[in-house]
Structure 1
Amino acid sequence: MPQFMDIAVNLIGSSLEKDLHGVVEAANHVGVSSMVVIGSHIEESEQAIALCNSFSGTLYSTAGVHPHHASEWTPQSCHRIKQLSLSQCVVAIGECGLDYNRDFSPRAKQRQAFAQQLELAVELKLPVLMHERDAHADFLAILKEYRSALPAALLHCFTGNRESLEAYLEQDLHIGITGWVCDERRGQELAELVPFIPDNRIVIETDSPYLLPRSMRPKPKSSKNQPKYLPYIAEYIANLRGQQIDDFALQTYQNSRSFFGLTY
């Protein structure tokens, strides 16, 4: 059975938190042997680290502040993230970036928090896991200031257009693809773009519990996405790329492990 790594799951503060052991066990049963738990603000990052310490070798964590929470950014935030990054399970800074779609935090504050977290990733020599929605120009401009010094950079849940994809690939980013690509209403453009992502730059994710693949048949009774659905997403993407699922699974697994500095 192929192995998979889900590079972005939201287990803390989500509907999946009620049955964490069940979620992890169900994922492991279908070959999803490792997952990265997202920290979207400092307190959540602390909770994610505590969770990952209970699932050593299976769950890993990010530490950072999502643009939705950028208004919470303070002069002490960098120090707190730096301390969290000392935990062995922390494999990346993030989830950081810009989100001009919902604007839950002022845009100037988003830019400040994003830039300072990139600077922190450079200082700590850690990969960065990023988010961008409807903010391509500002996101790219800030990223370019730090990209040459970052050890590795990943844009998760990519949903942009051909122009933005080409720009991000020029910056040597890894590109995370979710079940958004399985949505016949809004994922059509993404479905057309995934064949253009180089083999060594594509990684896969569920972004659980969000973005349940709409094309799944039979449709799950619950609308909650789970890491156990990652093999379905992988097969869907492999078909779009004209690849055998075993080959695609191995490639994305190796890409993910290498990106986060983990052995296969």
Structure 2
Amino acid sequence: MQLIDIGLNLTHDSFDRDRDAVWQRARDAGVTRAILTGASREHSPKAMALALTRPGEWFATAGVHPHHAVEYTEECDAEMRALHAHAEVVAVGECGLDYFRDFSPRPAQRRAFERQLQVAADTGKPLFLHQRDAHADFVAMMKNFDGRLGPAVVHCFTGTREELFDYLDQDWHIGITGWLCDERRGEHLRELVKHIPAHRLMVETDAPYLLPRTLRPMPKDRRNEPAFLPHIVEELARDRGEDVAATAAGSTATAAAFFRLPA
């Protein structure tokens, strides 16, 4: 199989010691391309810089996560727009709303999200979205831009049936992570993933976070890696009642089209 990890936090300092080895393990496992997540003023340019080192394999997003929303000043907006001038930056985000952690005040989150929705409207690039415990405000803000946005993916979907169908009704895409493998928090996803059309479904590790709890053997350092994406795909295929090869091929084709990756 040839997989695309659409959410890989490769700029995280836990990868500083062995980033090339991490990617080699991923390639050996069948992960041939990755979208490197940019989620702050610090890490968005780092994601792009990394993408430049492996053309055709690594691509980047550029945005400011709601946890960092207070960073989103006029200067930050200019920095993000400069990053989006580069072809290697293939999506706006990670951006959205997070009322679970509330690491940034909610008004600041909404302001930062609105500014980034405007960047997406202006550039035509896809959106890489985050939503947690903020569904109503999130959907309302997206609807304020109806007809002005390109494709959107709700990354690391962990929500309810109602949320899933609201997103699918908007023709948004869904990113599934190893949260699926968490018997404490993700069991409901095993039923919900059956309802995601193949042309709306993508897969991601969100590494180094969200190590799949069903992975055996477990890495001693508990760090998630892109090499573990096939494990997520196997579990996802089982839950969808599909052959693994079909789930892998479908998610790869969907991701390549969504992010407009070169053939």
Q: Same fold (TM over 0.5)?
A: yes
Q: How does 1:138-153 map to 2 (within 5 A)?
A: 138-153=137-152
Counterparts of 2:78 and 2:178 in 1: how far apart (Å)? Answer: 35
Corresponding residue number in structure 1 for 2:25:
26
Report the Cα offset of residue 48 of structure 1. Answer: 1.0
Corresponding residue number in structure 1 for 2:85:
86
Q: Which amino acid aligns with 1:88?
A: A
Corresponding residue number in structure 2 for 1:212:
211
Unaligned runs of 5+ in 2: none
Report the Cα offset of residue 7 of structure 1. Answer: 0.2
Q: Which amino acid aligns with 1:176?
A: G
Counterparts of 2:14 and 2:31 in 1: how far apart (Å)? Answer: 19
Report the Cα offset of residue 20 of structure 1. Answer: 1.0
Report the Cα offset of residue 185 of structure 1. Answer: 1.1
Counterparts of 1:30 and 1:96 in 2: how far apart (Å)? Answer: 29
Corresponding residue number in structure 2 for 1:63:
62
The yes-or-no answer on 1:112 pairing with 2:86 is: no
Partner deviation per Cα, 1:211-249 (whole Å, 9 max, x = no partner) = 000011222323000000001100100000000011110
Aligned-CA RMSD value: 1.0
Please say which of residues 44-53 and 143-152 is displaced more in the overlay: 143-152
Which of structure 1's runs of 4+ aligned residues deviate more than 6 A? Answer: none
Report the Cα offset of residue 123 of structure 1. Answer: 0.5
- 1:209 is paired with a residue of what secondary structure? coil
Structure 1 residues 231 and 147, CA gap change in structure 2 (3 angstroms): farther
Counterparts of 2:146 and 2:44 in 1: how far apart (Å)? Answer: 24
Report the Cα offset of residue 118 of structure 1. Answer: 0.7
Corresponding residue number in structure 1 for 2:156:
157
Partner deviation per Cα, 1:131-179 (whole Å, 9 max, x = no partner) = 0011101101001111422111010000000001011111111000000
Q: Which amino acid aligns with 1:66?
A: H
Partner deviation per Cα, 1:55-112 (whole Å, 9 max, x = no partner) = 1111110011000000111122222111111122100010000001111101000001
The yes-or-no answer on 1:17 pairing with 2:6 is: no
Report the Cα offset of residue 42 of structure 1. Answer: 1.9
Tell me the TM-score normalized by structure 2. 0.98
- 1:188 is paired with a residue of what secondary structure? coil
Corresponding residue number in structure 2 for 1:38:
37
Structure 1 residues 224 and 147, CA gap change in structure 2 (3 angstroms): farther
Counterparts of 1:113 and 1:232 in 2: how far apart (Å)? Answer: 35
Aligned residues: 263
Corresponding residue number in structure 1 for 2:243:
244
Is the 1:14–1:209 Cα contact (8 Å) retained in structure 2?
Answer: no
Unaligned runs of 5+ in 1: none
- 1:45 is paired with a residue of what secondary structure? helix
Is the 2:41–2:71 Cα contact (8 Å) retained in structure 1?
Answer: no
Corresponding residue number in structure 2 for 1:130:
129
Partner deviation per Cα, 1:184-221 (whole Å, 9 max, x = no partner) = 11111111111011111010000000100001122232
Corresponding residue number in structure 2 for 1:222:
221
Report the Cα offset of residue 3 of structure 1. Answer: 0.3
Q: Which amino acid aligns with 2:172?
A: L
- 2:122 is paired with a residue of what secondary structure? helix
Tell me the TM-score normalized by structure 1. 0.97
